[in-house]
Amino acid sequence: MPQGRVLPADRLPPDRLPADRLPWALLAAASLGMFAASASGTTRAPFLIDMARDLDTSLALVGNLVAATSITWGVASAFAGALSDKFGRWPFLVGGPIALALSMIGVATAGDFVAVACWAMLAGACSGMFSGAIFAEVSYRAGDGQQGRALGWVMSGQSLTLLVGVPLAAWVGAYIGWRGVNLCVGVLAAGAAVSLLLTSQKGVGHGRAPGVAAPSLRSAMSGPVLRLLSMGIAERVCYGLTAVYYATFLQSTYGLKLNAVALPLAVFATGNILGTIVGGQLADRFRNRLRIFALSMLGSGVAALALFRWCPDVYTSVALGFVYVFLNGIARPSLLASLADTPPHIRGTVMGLNSTSASVGWIGAAGLGGWMMGSFGFSGFGPLAAGMAVLAAVLALANRR
């Protein structure tokens, strides 16, 4: 999928910047929106026990809300991305965060587990409405040669949820409880909606050329796109295996208490953010993005083998966790930038499918990790993560175009 042609500044569409500039206001609003969308689920982690006690249900049921919201996020992303190609990005960029804010109010005020589950699943769907559209909008507005960096900054909003959002939620929640934290996330989502209202463009704005078929899921799912999406699933499984179970691994291996895991998790999140930023730079500087993706995934596979097999002390494991997630973070912007090379009139559909594939990867990581931990313990995580990394790399190198 070749790069698009760079137009002179005086011939660019009115909503698109020259190739050497980034839409920083839009990127800030997009990062805030991704932070709120990710926080709607991840900030629940410190309060699972409190929620189970308050709602008079089991801890396992509350924990399963993560998988349930991932499913609704993925399904909504596919349909919302396709609809954004037909009706424009703006209704989804602004409407998604507004609906998310209302959903979080619903979670905070729900009286029983069923109501919480319904509102949480709706929040996942609202996040899915927004995620595919914002990646498509940013990739279009950034212009050629800047897509990797721009998409990397948007992704940093998700990474900041782990670094800042979850610890802050745990601290604030000690005073206002899990319901109050959900209200705070709703306020963030409303703020993101206002920011995107001021920075995004109304109207379709990215119409197809004369004679080109109308956008649809079927037209977007070409062979190269399907292979890129498969790479995304393998990459998310590889990343999710460690991201989901990293704290449990440290606690089980070294007998750490929960408060002692906070600093290693912060180091882990920092590695992800730095890797994403570096990966965005590399995706824009080198033409062969998929080779960068493949090399990064292979490196993260080697780091995963070392992380779960070589455990002399906690400091070594924390350092290996940083290296692993740094290398994995480098890969993601190259994949997103490759997906952004699709024509603008189907880019929303493709980016929506990317969010869907990411949700499939997260669900797969949680399921495979749980099975592996029960069957072989953490010693099996390294080979499993490395195997998924190799699969992603092979798919990338087989899709050189």
Task: Return the top range by mean pLDDT from 26-35, 213-222, 334-343.
Answer: 26-35
> pLDDT class for 96, splitting at 50, 70, 90?
very high
- Better-scored residue on pLDDT, 148 or 211: 148
| pLDDT of 194 over the 80 cut | yes
pTM for the full predicted model = 0.77
* Rg of the Cα atoms in the chain: 20
Model pLDDT, residue 217 = 59
**Do 49 and 59 touch, CB atoms closer than 8 A?**
yes
C-alpha distances in angstroms, 82 versus 147, 154, 271, 298, 388?
Answer: 21, 20, 33, 33, 29
The sign of the torsion formed by the CA atoms of 281, 284, 287, 292 equals positive
> pLDDT class for 204, splitting at 50, 70, 90?
very low
**Domain tally for the chain?**
2
The sign of the torsion formed by the CA atoms of 171, 237, 337, 126 equals negative
Residue with tokens 């729900």: 110
Model pLDDT, residue 49 = 77
Task: Return the top range by mean pLDDT from 7-21, 49-63, 179-193.
Answer: 179-193
- Better-scored residue on pLDDT, 359 or 117: 117
The tokens describing 317, both together, are 């494991």
Whether residue 126 is found in the same domain as residue 224 = no
The answer to whether residue 15 is domain-embedded is no
Residue 162: DSSP 8-state: I
C-alpha distances in angstroms, 240 versus 64, 190, 326, 357?
Answer: 16, 28, 14, 13
The answer to whether residue 4 is domain-embedded is no
- Please name the residues in contact with 92: beta carbons below 8 A apart, sequence gap of 6 or more: 80, 83, 84, 129, 130, 132, 133
**Do 340 and 236 touch, CB atoms closer than 8 A?**
no
> pLDDT class for 215, splitting at 50, 70, 90?
low
| pLDDT of 158 over the 60 cut | yes
Whether residue 272 is found in the same domain as residue 194 = no
| pLDDT of 5 over the 60 cut | no
Whether residue 41 is found in the same domain as residue 77 = yes
**Do 14 and 153 touch, CB atoms closer than 8 A?**
no
Whether residue 380 is found in the same domain as residue 272 = yes
| pLDDT of 179 over the 90 cut | yes
Whether residue 241 is found in the same domain as residue 358 = yes
The answer to whether residue 11 is domain-embedded is no
pLDDT digit string, tens, across residues 67-76 = 788 889 888 8
Read off the CATH number of the domain in which 81 is found: 1.20.1250.20
C-alpha distances in angstroms, 143 versus 5, 82, 206, 354?
Answer: 10, 21, 13, 20
| pLDDT of 20 over the 60 cut | no
Least confident stretch, 113-117, 321-325, 330-334, 359-363: 359-363
- Better-scored residue on pLDDT, 205 or 144: 144
Whether residue 128 is found in the same domain as residue 247 = no
What value does the mean pLDDT take over residues 76-95? 86
- Please name the residues in contact with 191: beta carbons below 8 A apart, sequence gap of 6 or more: 32, 36
| pLDDT of 11 over the 70 cut | no
Amino acid at 374: G
Whether residue 272 is found in the same domain as residue 313 = yes
Q: For residue 329, which of 401, 259, 242, 225 has the smallest C-alpha distance?
A: 242
Q: For residue 347, which of 34, 6, 355 has the smallest C-alpha distance?
A: 355
The answer to whether residue 10 is domain-embedded is no
Whether residue 101 is found in the same domain as residue 233 = no
pLDDT digit string, tens, across residues 225-272 = 889 999 999 999 998 888 778 877 888 889 887 667 778 888 888 898
- The boundaries of the domain holding residue 383 are 217-401
Question: What's phi and psi for 257, nearest 5 deg?
Answer: -80, 165
The answer to whether residue 335 is domain-embedded is yes
| pLDDT of 117 over the 90 cut | yes
| pLDDT of 6 over the 50 cut | no
The answer to whether residue 255 is domain-embedded is yes
The answer to whether residue 160 is domain-embedded is yes
